[in-house]
């Protein structure tokens, strides 16, 4: 018998550290070294993965050990027990039953009395399942502990939000940061004054106010050395950061935790539905009042944007093409520079969509008339308005709801099938019915499919929940609309408070003339009804007279302008 070139493998995760010194890397090394010496193994190298979960097989030293096995430099691998190799029973079984034997590598788990040189290793399969159960149980306990701490109002994020610091004597409690709290208050003041997040970020840059990441860097909380090598980056505010601050209830003194969770074994982070998140009110000192918070968030929705001529469209961010779903951009038409909206897809490529062109004045009058009608209805007959919203949304969502239920059922069924396939795949690998390459390929395939199915299930569940909230939303819509009974004009603020989306469809020719349909999606109310308008005909300005679409060859001889005759 030749020299048995042996490698010792040690692994320790955070969960294992809870068991004390008996699982420490130092203890594992001493034990394995002594075992190798007593049994005549020549230790070539000791591989150590400290702080790595047993469910993760993409570990630095583990991969290095596999490279040495592939190179033929190892005859024997020894670990303290099977759990040091890993805690995923499928993958551990793959290595002990398939991979190591194929590579003529002897594997020994000392404490579990597993040695692939012996044929009687039946206990290994049960041990692997128990090791995975240990990880699953730990995961469940940790998640339960996290939620319990969150319910107690303990702040458990790594870093305090901008405007706050963690209390020196209690890192689970937030206190006001006197150096940065004033900036947060100023941001809310700007938002209340009607400034959008882009404009606020630009203003803070001009005022040379240090950004949140600079404060984290200077306080040693995060390392942004490369970013702040250029001193000008100290004032580089992002509009997304500003928007995040304005929408964060933490500045009201409330804590919302458990927004994300990790899927066991898959290792993918998924969003937790809002209904399952944990919110605890009045956990720390607020920086702004509820009134200021609500007002700022309402006004920030206005999203005012200026075009190159300095004109601001109140429809910015709201108006979409009814065919392709993309935004419609403002243009100027003809010698008189009429303001119109045109599908941006068509503007970039005339073959991809049609123009869906509509005049600003016509759209304004149409939307105002629709809002006036429903606001008056909600004010005079709230029950009728609620019934209309419920009826229209049930009609719109009926087929979609049924389709989503079917798709959710199919996704859940497929997820269960994939889970069973994992177990069957493991059995096939043990019986030799499947090759090592195919086993690895299928494991990756099924794991990827599991991740996709989990995301699909979460999306469908959220969609179904939205339909269930239909009645509640209808009541909110009616109450909101009633507040605007008697409205006489539209502006960015009230339009964005009432309307979520406006869809403009292409014009159609009928015997009675030319029509165009506009759909308005209200906040809370959804699509209550469609509005179709009669058209009148104007001459089409050719390219040399300033065609805003810059079409290479203009074949259209007529242009439609729609009047708001409701």
- Using 50, 70 and 90 to split pLDDT, how confident is the model at 501? confident
Cα–chain-centroid distance for residue 60? 29
Residues 13-23 have a mean pLDDT of: 59
Answer yes or no: is 495 within a domain: yes
Q: Using CA atoms, how far apart are residues 384 and 381, in angstroms rounded to an integer?
A: 5
Domain end, chosen from 134, 149, 164, is at: 149
Residues 212-222 have a mean pLDDT of: 88
Cβ partners under 8 Å of residue 484, min gap 6: 371, 375, 494, 498
Q: Using CA atoms, how far apart are residues 358 and 342, in angstroms rounded to an integer?
A: 7
* Number of DSSP helices (H) and strands (E) in the chain, helices first: 18, 20
Comparing 232-246, 272-286, 296-310, the range with the smallest average pLDDT is 296-310
Residues 435 and 448 in one domain: yes
Residue pair 79/10 in contact (Cβ under 8 Å)? The answer is yes
Answer yes or no: is 111 within a domain: yes
Residues 557 and 508 in one domain: yes
Domain carrying residue 65: 5-149
Domain end, chosen from 413, 445, 467, is at: 467
Q: Strand, helix or coil at 471? A: helix
Residues 64 and 11 in one domain: yes
- pLDDT tens-place string over residues 324-341: 888 888 888 766 677 888
CATH of the domain at 98: 3.40.50.1390
CB atoms inside a 10 Å sphere around CB 320:
21
Q: What is the pLDDT of residue 530?
A: 67
Answer yes or no: is 215 within a domain: yes
Residue 528, classified by CB atoms within 10 Å of its CB into exposed (0-12), middle (13-18) or buried (19+), is buried
- pLDDT tens-place string over residues 97-151: 888 888 889 999 888 888 888 876 666 665 656 666 555 666 666 666 666 766 7
Query: Nearest-5° angle of CA 58, CA 27, CA 10?
Result: 15
Residue pair 287/176 in contact (Cβ under 8 Å)? The answer is yes
Q: In the predicted model, is pLDDT for residue 482 greater than 50?
A: yes
Residues 449-467 have a mean pLDDT of: 79
Q: Using CA atoms, how far apart are residues 66 and 472, in angstroms rounded to an integer?
A: 58
3-state SS, 279-343, equals: EECCCCCCCCCHHHHHHHHHHHCCCCCECCCCCECCCCCCEEECCCCCEEEEEEECCCCEEEEEE
- pLDDT tens-place string over residues 361-392: 888 988 999 999 999 999 999 888 888 887 77
Q: Which two tokens stand for residue 514?
A: 């030319």
Q: Report the share of the chain in percent with pLDDT over 90.
A: 14
Residues 363 and 502 in one domain: yes
Residues 184 and 211 in one domain: yes
Q: Strand, helix or coil at 485? A: coil
Q: What is the pLDDT of residue 308?
A: 47
Residues 289 and 246 in one domain: yes
Q: In the predicted model, is pLDDT for residue 241 greater than 50?
A: yes
- Using 50, 70 and 90 to split pLDDT, how confident is the model at 310? very low
Comparing 17-26, 189-198, 269-278, the range with the smallest average pLDDT is 17-26
Query: β-strands 255-257, 278-280: how paired?
Result: antiparallel
Q: In the predicted model, is pLDDT for residue 563 greater than 50?
A: no
Residues 26-45 have a mean pLDDT of: 90
Comparing 91-105, 201-215, 417-431, the range with the smallest average pLDDT is 417-431
Residues 58 and 124 in one domain: yes
Q: Which two tokens stand for residue 65?
A: 């050990």
Residues 241 and 215 in one domain: yes
Query: Nearest-5° angle of CA 197, CA 201, CA 207?
Result: 140
Q: What is the pLDDT of residue 331?
A: 83
Residues 278 and 327 in one domain: no
Answer yes or no: is 313 within a domain: no
Q: In the predicted model, is pLDDT for residue 538 greater than 70?
A: no
Residues 167 and 257 in one domain: yes
Answer yes or no: is 309 within a domain: no
Say whether pTM exceeds 0.85: no
Answer yes or no: is 312 within a domain: no
Comparing 85-89, 310-314, 526-530, the range with the smallest average pLDDT is 310-314
Mean pLDDT for the chain? 78
Q: In the predicted model, is pLDDT for residue 396 greater than 60?
A: no
Residues 120 and 145 in one domain: yes
Comparing 100-104, 349-353, 499-503, 554-558, the range with the smallest average pLDDT is 554-558
Q: Strand, helix or coil at 258? A: coil
Q: In the predicted model, is pLDDT for residue 397 greater than 50?
A: no
Residue pair 302/493 in contact (Cβ under 8 Å)? The answer is yes
Domain end, chosen from 467, 500, 521, is at: 467
Angle between helices 436-468 and 470-482 (to 10 degrees): 50
Answer yes or no: is 314 within a domain: no
Number of domains in the chain: 4
- pLDDT tens-place string over residues 249-265: 889 988 877 766 655 44
- pLDDT tens-place string over residues 164-185: 988 888 888 889 999 999 999 9
| Cα dihedral across residues 520, 339, 545, 351: positive or negative | negative
Highest mean pLDDT among 263-267, 444-448, 521-525, 537-541: 521-525
H/E stretch holding 360 reads helix 360-380
Answer yes or no: is 473 within a domain: no
Comparing 56-70, 157-171, 361-375, 532-546, the range with the smallest average pLDDT is 532-546
Residues 15 and 42 in one domain: yes
Q: In the predicted model, is pLDDT for residue 307 greater than 60?
A: no
Inter-CA distances, 525 with 94, 326, 471, 493, 513, Å = 54, 22, 9, 18, 31
């Amino acid at each position: 018998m030749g020299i048995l070139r042996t490698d010792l493998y040690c692994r320790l995760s955070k969960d294992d550290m809870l068991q004390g010194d008996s699982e420490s890397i130092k203890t594992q090394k001493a034990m394995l070294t002594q075992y190798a010496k007593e049994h005549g193994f020549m230790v070539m190298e000791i591989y150590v993965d400290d702080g790595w979960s047993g469910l993760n097989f993409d570990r630095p030293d583990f991969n290095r050990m596999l490279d040495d096995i592939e190179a033929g430099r190892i005859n024997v691998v020894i670990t303290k027990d099977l759990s040091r190799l890993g805690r995923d029973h499928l993958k551990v079984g793959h290595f002990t039953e398939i991979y190591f034997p194929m590579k003529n590598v002897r594997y020994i788990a000392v404490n579990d009395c597993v040695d692939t040189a012996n044929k009687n290793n039946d206990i290994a399969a049960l041990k692997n399942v128990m090791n995975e159960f240990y990880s699953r149980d730990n995961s469940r306990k940790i998640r339960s502990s996290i939620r319990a701490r969150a319910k107690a109002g303990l702040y458990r994020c790594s870093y305090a939000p901008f405007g706050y610091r963690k209390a020196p004597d209690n890192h689970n409690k937030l206190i006001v940061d006197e150096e940065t709290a004033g900036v947060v208050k100023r941001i809310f003041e700007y938002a209340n004054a009607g400034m959008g997040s882009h404009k606020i970020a630009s203003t803070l840059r001009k005022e040379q106010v240090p950004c949140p990441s600079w404060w984290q860097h200077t306080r040693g909380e995060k390392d942004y050395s490369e970013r702040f090598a250029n001193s000008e980056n100290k004032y580089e505010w992002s509009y997304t950061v500003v928007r995040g601050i304005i929408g964060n209830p933490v500045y009201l003194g409330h804590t919302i935790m458990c927004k994300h969770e990790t899927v066991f074994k898959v290792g993918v982070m998924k969003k937790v539905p809002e209904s399952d998140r944990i919110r605890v009110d009045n956990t720390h000192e607020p920086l702004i009042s509820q009134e200021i918070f609500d007002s700022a968030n309402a006004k920030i929705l206005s999203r005012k944007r200026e075009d190159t001529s300095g004109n601001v469209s109140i429809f910015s961010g709201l108006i979409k093409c009814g065919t392709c779903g993309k935004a419609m951009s403002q243009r100027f038409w003809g010698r008189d520079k009429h303001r119109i909206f045109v599908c941006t897809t068509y503007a970039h490529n005339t073959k991809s969509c049609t123009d869906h062109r509509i005049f600003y004045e016509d759209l304004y009058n149409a939307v105002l008339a629709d809002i006036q009608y429903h606001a008056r209805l909600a004010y005079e007959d709230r029950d009728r308005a609620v019934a209309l919203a419920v009826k229209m949304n049930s009609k719109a969502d009926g087929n979609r709801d049924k389709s989503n239920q079917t798709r959710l059922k199919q996704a859940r069924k497929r997820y269960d099938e994939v889970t069973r396939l994992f177990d069957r795949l493991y059995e096939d690998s043990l019986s030799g019915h499947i090759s090592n390459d195919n086993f690895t390929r299928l494991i990756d395939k099924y794991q990827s499919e599991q991740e996709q199915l989990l995301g699909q299930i979460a999306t469908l569940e959220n969609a179904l929940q939205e339909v269930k909230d239909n009645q509640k939303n209808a009541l909110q819509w009616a109450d909101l609309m009633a507040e605007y009974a008697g409205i006489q004009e539209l502006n960015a603020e009230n339009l964005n408070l009432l309307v979520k989306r406006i869809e403009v469809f292409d014009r159609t020719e009928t015997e009675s003339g030319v029509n165009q349909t506009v759909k308005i999606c209200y906040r809370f109310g959804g699509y209550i009804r469609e509005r179709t308008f009669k058209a009148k005909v104007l001459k089409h300005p050719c390219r040399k007279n300033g065609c805003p679409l810059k079409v290479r060859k203009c074949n259209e001889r007529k242009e439609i302008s729609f009047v708001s005759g409701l």
